Structure 1
Amino acid sequence: LEYAVEHGPKALKVVSDSELLVRQIKGIYKVKEPTLRDLHGRASQLINKLQWFEIEHVLRGHNREADELANTAMDKGSGRAPFRPPQAPQKSQTEFNGIVRGGKIELLSGHLPEGTAVEVRVKPAK
């Protein structure tokens, strides 16, 4: 949050595999631990400086890239690993067939984890 406020975009979407964190940031759960209350207050201040903010929960298995980034950040903070900016994700060459129903694309085969970014190429109907 600090980095986004100081250097980056005015809009931020956070995807976390911690359901507790997501619910605390959204105000669904209270933050009971005094130390965490201070951090929650700081996070709220930073969020309020952004023009747009969203946070959502995903299962850990669907959040591998973020989990790796978080582990790298924790290692950097503990002095165990040098900081390296995240690399741009590589484009997957996997292709799926789908059809539009009700304004949404339904895959005819295969499965994509929730939150997967996709690039759509439209083919004429046969």
Structure 2
Amino acid sequence: MRELVVEADGGSRGNPGPAGYGAVVLDPATGETLAEAAEYIGVATNNVAEYKGLIAGLRAALDLAPDATVRVRMDSKLVVEQMSGRWKIKHPDMKPLAAEAARAFPADRVHYEWIPRERNKHADRLANEAMDAGK
């Protein structure tokens, strides 16, 4: 079974404000970029943008290798902890996004890892480019 790495990020300029996300699918052995996704999503909160980035990354991984396992790396502690089941999802806007993320790729083959922002530069760049394009 193949393993993929998804790195995802989202951001907003203001909270809420103009928002976008970026996601990249990587080969864990070589670091090669296999797919990228980025989109301006209009006015949204940072957390909504983070979830949208996760969903896009998981969908890209599914398109590449539906039988893979996926290691998701994000600098959003909130998303990582909520999707790992360690934190409850209390905000009503986050519940449908978390459910959509759980459906985007078989949840039993997805593992979440928090990484510092400086290790998430590729996805962060894509998110910022999406926000710049949406102005």
Is 1:4 the counterpart of 2:58? The answer is: no
Q: Can you give the 5+ residue segments of structure 1 that lack an aligned partner in the other structure?
A: 82-126
Higher percent of residues as strand:
2
Higher percent of residues as helix:
2
Normalised TM-score (structure 2): 0.47
Residue 53 (structure 1) aligned to one of 99, 105, 110: 110
Q: Distance in 2 between matches of 1:58 and 1:68?
A: 16
CA distance 1:4–1:21, shift in 2 (3 Å)? same
Residue 125 of structure 2: aligned partner: 68
Aligned length in residues: 76
Preserved contact between residue 81 and residue 87 of structure 2 (Cα < 8 Å): yes
Q: Distance in 2 between matches of 1:70 and 1:57?
A: 18
Q: CA deviation at 1:65?
A: 1.9
Q: CA deviation at 1:56?
A: 0.6
Q: Distance in 1 between matches of 2:59 and 2:110?
A: 13
Residue 75 of structure 2: aligned partner: 17
Which letter does structure 2 place at the counterpart of 1:19?
K
Normalised TM-score (structure 1): 0.50
Residue 80 of structure 1: aligned partner: 134
Larger radius of gyration: 1
Secondary structure at 1:67 match in 2 = helix
Q: Distance in 2 between matches of 1:14 and 1:41?
A: 16
Q: Distance in 1 between matches of 2:134 and 2:93?
A: 25
Q: Can you give the 5+ residue segments of structure 2 that lack an aligned partner in the other structure?
A: 1-57
Q: CA deviation at 1:70?
A: 3.1
Structure ranking higher on relative contact order (CA contacts 8 Å, 6+ apart): 2
Deviations 1:24-45 (CA, angstroms, capped at 9, x unpaired): 0000001111121001011112
Deviations 1:54-82 (CA, angstroms, capped at 9, x unpaired): 2210111222222113333x438xx539x
Deviations 1:64-102 (CA, angstroms, capped at 9, x unpaired): 222113333x438xx539xxxxxxxxxxxxxxxxxxxxx
Secondary structure at 1:31 match in 2 = coil
CA distance 1:12–1:70, shift in 2 (3 Å)? farther
Which letter does structure 1 place at the counterpart of 2:87?
Y
Secondary structure at 2:72 match in 1 = strand
